[in-house]
Amino acid sequence: MSNITMTLGDEVIKKVKRIALEKNTTLTGLVRDYLTGIAKREDQRVEEAIAELTKIM
């Protein structure tokens, strides 16, 4: 697993930490889940496009 560094405004960090606490996770957990979701949706989009192209051929 790799680490990333981000710069965010103090208010954004405070709000997101509060949201994370409500969801019983961490700021890092929220970011990880969000980015993982984006990657999975992109994988699904590519798979669907390949399936459509396969039907055409």
Query: What pLDDT is stored for residue 34 in this prediction?
Result: 98
Angle (CA) 9-13-14 rounded to 5° is 115
- Its pTM stands at 0.77
What's the pLDDT at 56? 87
The segments of the chain whose pLDDT lies below 70 read: none
Which sequence spans correspond to the domains of the chain? Answer: 33-57
Nearest to 34 by CA among 14, 20, 15: 20
Q: In 1-57, which ranges are continuous DSSP H helix?
A: 10-22, 27-56
Please name the residues in contact with 19: beta carbons below 8 A apart, sequence gap of 6 or more: 30
